[in-house]
Amino acid sequence: MSAAPLARDARALAREVRAGRASAEALVRTVLADVAARDARYHAVSMTFEARALSDARRVDAAVRAGRDPGPLAGVPFLVKSNFDVAGYTTVAGSPARLALPTAHTDATLVARLCAAGAVPVGATHMDELACGATGENPHFGAVRLPADPARMTGGSSSGSAAAIAAGYVPLALGSDTNGSIRAPAALCGLWGVKPDNGRLAMQGCLPYAASLDVAGGFARSFSDLLPLYEALLGEQDAAEAARVRAAIRAGTALRVAVLTGGFEQFADAQARRSVQRAAACFEHVEQEPIDEALLAEVRAAALTVSNYELARAHRALLDADDPSCVSERLRSRIVTGLSTSDAAYAQALAQREAWCARMRTFFARYDVLIAPATPFAAPRFADASIDVNGTLLEPAKSLGRLTQPVSFAALPVVSAPCHAPDELPTGVQLIGAQGTLAACFAAARSIAVQRGEDVDAS
């Protein structure tokens, strides 16, 4: 059995559905057949929502027949990272300890907003256990595999969402990012990703990992789809933000750009550095700003303290699970470590976060956007115990998020852009803005999309 992937991007699919030239129901059936035919190879999708998806798609088709506009993403199939609630299904979040929980009564806010824009949820994606992981390897449900080379990792924890788009199942997927969980998989899978400011998008119905760091966002196959995805996630409640982003993309204003070096360059291999150079070449004048690795190490340690402390208090009940095998030793260790972290140590880490945020704010007096590699290297093989990066051996599980974690700790918005050569495995860059200036990141992303020959129409 075989099935053709959806070759067209979200905006093109929506135009066809709104014009009555394509059926939302047919699109859903195509996705379901494709997943059934090919996902044993990639292990991206954890469950499908066949009854729900077909029902939603038929409502979209009925609206078109009645002359009503179903929305800007009319009939576009999308996938949901499995830590987001979808009404009628259990929010497993990569944890077998959650399989017996009741189904969700309502959709997570962001799922509901995508549906309000006319998009159709067709399934949930595999992820690291409770989002606690960076490789996409789940000890209970198996590893998500890179579509470009199934012997390699996708990164995590939004592994399945990224892999599903890279495999061609859907053009859009929902993800979450705490220390790099959108940006690393986007880079390794060759996708566009958006991680907004902390608090910009509603987190209701998304299972927390580390609440003060958690951010919702998503993935798109193309730059032209990233803006409508972000607008749909904003919903009608934040039309001003959507207008700012559109205006910035259309303006084409010269941006003040700097590349982060120091530790960001020291722990990026030759291909990751080429991706940064390729991105920087899209701008007229680019400075360099070094950040010492010793400082970055302190920031990562503080971020880990905050992550462990908050993870432990959100999920401490797992230590008393009836079946201990439902909780991996790695997760159990993280929870135990977090519970043993004192309130004073947590407060100190939060103080370090404030200082780090202030340090990063100083850059934005001089620059609109900072560029940094998203990962130290392209996707490792599952057999790779370590990767040599400029003479230092790095373990994938401990290093895939080392360049994203400091950016998360500073609570900065990011667009993740693919910047690899056609003959290379995918790698990408972080386009980092000041708090409240994701519009500048989108404007920078447009320049990269132009260089890549992509459609950049923001109409």
Is 81 tagged catalytic?
yes
Q: What are phi and psi of 367, to 5 degrees?
A: -135, 155
User: Which member of 82, 181, 307, 399 is catalytic?
Assistant: 181
Tokens representing 145 are: 């595999």
CA distance 458 to 365: 28
User: Which member of 82, 157, 159, 224 is catalytic?
Assistant: 157
User: Which member of 81, 82, 161, 447 is catalytic?
Assistant: 81
Is 159 tagged catalytic?
no
CA distance 249 to 443: 5
Region of residue 235 (phi > 0: left; psi between -120 and 50: alpha; otherwise: beta): left
CA distance 352 to 441: 26
Helices (H), 80-204: 109-116, 159-166, 183-189
Chain centroid to CA 257: how far? 23
Are 248 and 442 spatial neighbours (Cβ–Cβ below 8 Å)?
yes
Are 220 and 10 spatial neighbours (Cβ–Cβ below 8 Å)?
yes
Is 342 tagged catalytic?
no
Does the bond joining 157 to the residue before it have cis omega, within 30 degrees of 0? yes
Are 176 and 202 spatial neighbours (Cβ–Cβ below 8 Å)?
no
CA distance 402 to 395: 11
Q: What are phi and psi of 177, to 5 degrees?
A: -145, 120
Identity at 7, one-letter amino acid code: A
Contacts (Cβ under 8 Å, ≥6 apart) of 77: 6, 27, 28, 31, 53, 119, 120, 121, 122, 169, 170, 171
Could you count the other beta carbons within 10 Å of the beta carbon of residue 294? 10
Q: Could you list the active site residues?
A: 81, 157, 181
